[in-house]
């Protein structure tokens, strides 16, 4: 089952459940987050709760998307209660691009820190017997203010040196009032980053990740398929500028999802009751690796069959503030 959030033709927010091509309004629900809280309180799965509440009118999701009525599938009332985070070097093909970006002449055995981190994951990211595996690279992107709805512009700051997509799968979570993380499901994600800044020095990785990200349009309930095939493309002036397949799922990863989730939620700060988490699991495919330089008006498109509608976002460049304008701090 896939879940999405839309505005109906009267601008009321609705939850839509879809199985196959049959998309219908979920009775008595105006947000996926509200449904998730109700399911936790009643110790039910979302699918069971939706079956109990029933489905109403049919919805043309393609038309709603084209009309700009599809919303981000998760959005707490207070954006500061949403954590936007991710892990890198988790996919079996992810090291080559990073290694080239972070290559250091004369490094010990010619391996960059990125390659060493990747090897750690290959060797210890899928532990057996319920043991804890090696921890992955981890990064922070921002809070709910940085989350962009499907179809809406992803805005790159004026000081950015690059504006590049990263096609990923994200886990969507809410923490119960007992402090237990609950996974709502999985969604497509564009983990938008500044790869030129990152390439200057690996210690700039944190700066390169402080950018918006988009997820959706639909959340896949249940387990993540072990093998996922998708396509990422950049469209310019109506023509495909760049296109490449990507793969995800545990069959194509050096870590288990359980291991990645453990190393995020092991921190008490990420188990605060009521908080929402969007945690991205990494990628091995970037247009930047093929020397593509995006520009204002380019459209990022990410699609994979299990996730329903594609994730599309145009690129915007923030020109309201000069790139070199200092931010002055006032003394009290």
* Average pLDDT across the chain, whole number: 93
Provide the 8-state DSSP code for 223: P
The answer to whether the CB of 37 falls within 8 A of the CB of 49 is: no
Q: Could you tell me the two tokens for 31?
A: 């947000």
- The rounded distance, in Å, linking the Cα atoms of 311 and 224 is 18
Residue entry with tokens 């590049």: 164
- Around Cβ 314, how many Cβ atoms within 10 Å? 15
The answer to whether the CB of 74 falls within 8 A of the CB of 15 is: no
Q: Could you tell me the two tokens for 53?
A: 């509440």
Q: Could you tell me the two tokens for 186?
A: 């999985």
The answer to whether the CB of 125 falls within 8 A of the CB of 254 is: yes
The answer to whether the CB of 133 falls within 8 A of the CB of 292 is: no
- Around Cβ 31, how many Cβ atoms within 10 Å? 18
Q: Full-prediction pTM beyond 0.85?
A: yes
Q: Kindly state the average pLDDT of the residues 13-28.
A: 96
Say whether 140 sits in a helix, a strand or coil.
Answer: strand
- Please give the pLDDT value at position 88: 86
Q: Kindly state the average pLDDT of the residues 82-96.
A: 82
- The rounded distance, in Å, linking the Cα atoms of 322 and 158 is 7
User: What does the pLDDT look like over 143-162, one tens digit per residue?
Assistant: 999 999 999 999 999 999 99
Q: Could you tell me the two tokens for 52?
A: 């109990």
Quick check: 106 pLDDT over 60?
A: no
The answer to whether the CB of 331 falls within 8 A of the CB of 237 is: no
- The rounded distance, in Å, linking the Cα atoms of 225 and 108 is 38
- Please give the pLDDT value at position 94: 61
Residue entry with tokens 């993540």: 224
- With cut-offs at 50, 70 and 90, classify the pLDDT of residue 238: very high
- With cut-offs at 50, 70 and 90, classify the pLDDT of residue 124: confident
Residue entry with tokens 């799965």: 45
Residue 22, strand partner residues: 19
Quick check: 118 pLDDT over 90?
A: no
User: What does the pLDDT look like over 245-302, one tens digit per residue?
Assistant: 999 999 999 999 999 999 999 999 999 999 999 999 998 899 999 999 999 999 999 9
Give start and end residues of each alpha helix (H) in 201-299. Answer: 205-209, 257-265
């Amino acid at each position: 089952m896939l879940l999405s959030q839309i505005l109906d033709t009267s601008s009321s927010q609705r939850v839509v459940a879809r199985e196959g091509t049959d998309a219908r309004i979920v009775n008595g629900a105006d947000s996926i987050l509200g449904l998730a809280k109700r399911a936790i309180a009643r110790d039910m799965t979302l699918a069971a709760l939706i079956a109990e509440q029933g489905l109403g009118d049919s919805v043309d999701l393609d038309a709603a998307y084209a009309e700009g009525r599809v919303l981000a599938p998760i959005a707490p009332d207070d954006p500061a209660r949403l954590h936007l985070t991710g892990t890198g070097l988790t996919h079996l093909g992810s090291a080559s691009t990073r290694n080239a970006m972070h290559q250091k002449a004369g490094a010990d055995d010619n391996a960059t820190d990125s390659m060493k981190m990747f090897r750690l994951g290959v060797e210890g990211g899928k532990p057996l017997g319920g043991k804890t595996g090696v921890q992955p690279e981890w990064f922070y992107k921002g809070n709910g203010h940085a989350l962009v709805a499907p179809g809406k512009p992803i805005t790159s700051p004026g000081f950015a040196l690059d504006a590049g997509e990263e096609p990923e799968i994200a886990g969507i979570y809410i923490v119960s009032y007992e402090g237990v993380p609950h996974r709502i499901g999985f969604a497509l994600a564009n983990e938008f980053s500044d790869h030129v800044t990152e390439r200057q020095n690996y210690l700039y990785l944190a700066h390169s990740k402080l950018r918006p990200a988009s997820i959706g349009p639909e959340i896949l309930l249940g387990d993540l398929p072990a093998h996922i095939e998708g396509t990422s493309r950049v469209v310019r002036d109506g023509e495909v500028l760049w296109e490449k397949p990507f793969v995800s799922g545990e069959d194509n990863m050096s870590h288990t999802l359980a291991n990645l989730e453990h190393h995020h939620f092991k921190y008490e700060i990420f188990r605060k009751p009521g908080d929402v988490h969007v945690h991205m699991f990494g990628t091995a495919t970037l247009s930047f690796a093929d020397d593509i330089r995006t520009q204002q008006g380019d459209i990022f498109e990410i699609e994979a069959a299990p996730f329903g509608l594609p994730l599309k976002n145009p690129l915007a460049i923030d020109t309201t503030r000069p790139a070199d304008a200092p931010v002055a701090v006032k003394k009290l």
